[in-house]
A and B are shown apart, each in its own frame.
Chain A
Amino acid sequence: MSQATLRVQKISGHAGGVPGKDTQREYTVSKLIDTTTCIGCKACEVACMEWNDLPFGQTVFDNTYQTMPETRWNYWNLILFNEHEREDGALMWLMRKNQCMHCADPGCLAACPADGAIVQYTNGIVDFQQANCIGCGYCITGCPFDIPKMNPETHRVFKCTLCADRVSEGLEPACIKSCPTGCLHFGSKDDMKELAEARAKQLRDHSNFPHAGVYDPPGVGGTGVIYVLHDASNPEIYGGLPKNPHVPWSVKLWKGPLKWLGNVAMIGGLIGLFVHYLRYGPKAREEEDLASRPEGGRT
């Protein structure tokens, strides 16, 4: 069966370096989400569902236009609706498309213990390989954006793939294509960054948004999904977009110092015990020796 493939630059739970890393020139792709032109129509939600053939789930009315409280294992793309009153009393209805941010330094990948369950392609897309997923859910903990979600039936974790299957064939992701107002864009990270900065400048110069800016948080090495925000100084108002997201300290501690400490301790312990045995040997050679052995004598 023919299958599409993409080259990989980061692999979760993998012993040793990434094969073939840095042996080819690559460019990084990125989504740009201009929240200032998002109308919350949910076309992207549907396009995602349709392209990925995700099964339908139950929803209930919850005093909001938002489809559901948060993304689900079978709902990767969710627009968050927030009514926000500005300081001057003007009402804003903020809509933010929430999905995997495709971090350059993905917390999920860092936390994942399963070999090849999470990969980052050379184009920057962070993808889950469910065949390799062991269902431990460490990625859920590793993600600063609350994105990976577990399928309780199969115990596999799912999230936005940035339509890697489309991108690998030269198409844009499904959500990007569907977006009616063009608040979604897709291209190389550099181009998206440029477009985003220009739009933010336009908002600062021509609209009443002096704090408009681009969200591309350095805490996770920048993201493969960048936002233009009316007020970049306060991303929390967009449904809790973290101001300075980073891989959780405990994941860093665990994957960093603790790992080294633990490895050193374990290997050191083993060596120590071995040396101890060489030096001191057993407390008694045979059980029978016990009684007759000279007290305190070395063997």
Chain B
Amino acid sequence: MSPTRRDFLKLTTLGGTAATLFGFDLKPAYAQLRTLKIARANETRSTCPYCSVSCGVIIYTIGDRAKNVTPQVVHVEGDPDHPINRGTLCPKGASLEQDILNERRLLKPQVRRPGGTDWEDISWGDALNEIAEKVKKTRDDTFIEKDAAGHTVNRLESIAWTGGCTDTNEFNYLVVKTMRSLGVVHLENQARV
């Protein structure tokens, strides 16, 4: 940066004005700008979770991944290297920072009991144990081993899985593995609708 630069905050002082009143200043004038907010932020390449174009996005987080730092997102921008979006984003992708950093996020497991009129907090352990018990009981109660014709069907019609559009392939694979092993046939996904 030029050592001769001066900025405008100084210019507005009387002295500054007087200096230019009685003699023209040939030192170039500079104006201050906001510092580039992502200059030292950490970059993570990711994929936009919205439509199927799969734009590459760069998630900028504060901190240099040092142990004592909890990263916080400060900006999200398109990945210019990505062959499809080449850095561009739509209004949804461009606002991903607000999706990551959102005060409406669910932060704790909750349960609504039969007949309940509000949510109750529940621990992860209790929630998962209860769910596992319900899965087993429902399965044991209704599992169909043979159909009317005597063919082996080994299916479970009473439990359904509905998967979302932003589940990763790996997650979906785990779902297929676990659900099909339970015998689940009501296995559906946003892909249908």
Q: Which residues of A contact B (CB under 8 A)?
A: 1-8, 11, 14-21, 23-24, 41-43, 45-47, 49-51, 53, 115-116, 119, 121, 127, 129, 131-132, 164-166, 168-169, 171, 174, 177-180, 182
Contacts and interface: CB of A to CB of B under 8 A. Distances in A.
A3 B87 CA distance: 26
| A contact patch SS | loop
Interface of B: 1, 5-9, 11-12, 17, 20-21, 24-37, 39, 75-78, 80, 85, 87-91, 93-95, 97
B24 A47 contact: no
Contacts of A51: 37, 75
A174 B78 CA distance: 10
14 contacts: A1-B35, A6-B33, A7-B28, A15-B21, A16-B25, A19-B20, A23-B28, A43-B93, A46-B91, A50-B75, A115-B12, A177-B78, A180-B89, A180-B90
Contact of B88 (A16, A43, A45): A43
Contact of A165 (B8, B9, B34): B34
B8 A7 contact: no
Contacts of A178: 77-78, 87-89, 94
A17 B11 CA distance: 13
A20 B89 contact: no
Contact of A4 (B11, B36, B95): B36
A131 B79 CA distance: 34
Contact of B36 (A21, A169, A182): A169
Nearest to B1: A5
Contacts of B1: 5
